[in-house]
Amino acid sequence: MSDQTNIYVQRINLVIDYITSHLAENLSIETLAQVAGFSPFHFHRIFKSITDEPVSQFVARLRVEQAAKLLRANPALSVLDAALMCGYDSASGFSRAFRRHFGCSPRQWNRVDSLQQRKIGKVLDQTIDYTLTALRESPAQETFSVDVHWLSEQRLAYIRVTDAYSDYQRIIDVHDRLVNWYLGQGGDLATMNLYGLSEDDLDLTPADKFRFDWCVAIPDDWETGTAISTRHWPATLVVSIHTQGDLALMERAWQYLWRCWLPRSPYQPANLPALEIYCQPPSITGWDVYDLRCAIPVEPL
């Protein structure tokens, strides 16, 4: 990838991060073009060339998917409140958008069942989509201990993977690129803070649009060049489960957090991506067993 292409990807990543954290605000083409540093006249075409999705469609999709996340995580949240929190002017406008995207109204949805067909490639073909009864009653569930703790403010260097699970080797390759870059800057594998940020929810987002970011915390004075993007991670409260096992165990922990624990907690998801906090990186554990925390940024209800 050329330096010119890298610069374009960096700028569009800035826009995507801005959209994700400002869904309740007016996201005009002029505003987003200014974030990107492109002229409004050319911005739309550049955005679509990088993301394969028109900017208006991208914003609409993120708004309806974020509202669905909020409704699922908080059974007491009204449809109107979820709509207003994600940039809609009315419950009726949100309901129309919800029906167009998911094929049913938000009031018809039971807030439990998946709203998208789960198509995430061979990597999770053997993973069970656990029922709520199984999640609540399985004796193995006693091993899931949920911790509430703070994650510190950090500067993150990252590389984004879209359509992340169609080819798991791509995830491994991007991880290696980021870690090798980090080590080349003088970073230490033993003290590296490595994260995997899940920008979307596979129960809500089409698999080919799913975004996954490999991230590593870096000092403020490090230069990243054109190949690596950066973002600011604010100090935030997170709820997490420590898992040491395969992808099936990790998926079970995620489902328990989202579908069992969070809706019965005094918290709701913050407007930040869920993340894997690696206790040991895959470069040490290998890619069959993972040692990490499944974490969701939250705020009080």
| Same-domain status, 181 and 96 | no
| Same-domain status, 153 and 271 | yes
The verdict on residue 111 lying in a domain is no
| Same-domain status, 96 and 172 | no
Residue 194 contacts residue 179 (beta carbons within 8 Å): yes
Q: What are phi and psi of 121, to 5 degrees?
A: 80, 180
Among candidate residues 3, 19, 72, the one with its CA nearest the CA of residue 227: 3
**Domain CATH number, residue 280:** 3.20.80.10
To the question of pTM greater than 0.85 for the whole model, the response is no
Residue 3 contacts residue 9 (beta carbons within 8 Å): no
Q: What pLDDT does residue 97 have?
A: 93
The verdict on residue 113 lying in a domain is no
Domain-terminating residue out of 102, 133, 167: 102
| Same-domain status, 65 and 157 | no
The verdict on residue 254 lying in a domain is yes
Among candidate residues 15, 10, 33, 16, the one with its CA nearest the CA of residue 223: 10
The verdict on residue 136 lying in a domain is no
What is the C-alpha separation between 32 and 203, in angstroms, rounded?
28
| Same-domain status, 80 and 178 | no
Q: How many domains does the chain have?
A: 2
Domain-terminating residue out of 78, 102, 126: 102
Q: SS3 of 43, please? A: helix
Q: Which pLDDT tens digits describe the chain residue by residue (301 residues)?
A: 555 567 888 899 999 999 999 999 999 999 999 999 888 877 888 898 888 899 999 999 999 999 998 898 888 889 999 999 999 999 999 999 999 998 899 998 888 777 764 444 444 443 444 444 454 554 444 468 999 999 999 999 999 998 877 778 889 999 999 999 999 999 999 999 999 998 887 777 777 888 899 999 999 999 988 789 999 999 999 999 999 999 889 988 988 888 788 888 888 888 888 999 999 999 899 999 999 999 999 988 7
Among candidate residues 276, 286, 284, 241, the one with its CA nearest the CA of residue 262: 241
The verdict on residue 246 lying in a domain is yes
| Same-domain status, 193 and 282 | yes
The verdict on residue 236 lying in a domain is yes
b/e for 149-184, b at 16 or more Cβ within 10 A?
Answer: eebeebbbbbbbbbbbbbebeebeebbeebbebbee
The verdict on residue 9 lying in a domain is yes
In the numeric block, which tokens belong to residue 264?
């019965």
Domain that holds residue 72: 3-102
Domain-terminating residue out of 102, 137, 168: 102
What is the C-alpha separation between 57 and 123, in angstroms, rounded?
29
| Same-domain status, 151 and 296 | yes
| Same-domain status, 295 and 152 | yes
**Domain CATH number, residue 55:** 1.10.10.60
In angstroms, the Cα distances linking 22 to 2, 18, 46, 125, 188 are: 30, 6, 21, 35, 34
What is the C-alpha separation between 301 and 151, in angstroms, rounded?
19
| Same-domain status, 178 and 82 | no
| Same-domain status, 186 and 274 | yes
| Same-domain status, 290 and 209 | yes
Q: What pLDDT does residue 143 have?
A: 61
Q: What pLDDT does residue 2 have?
A: 54
The verdict on residue 197 lying in a domain is yes
| Same-domain status, 150 and 296 | yes
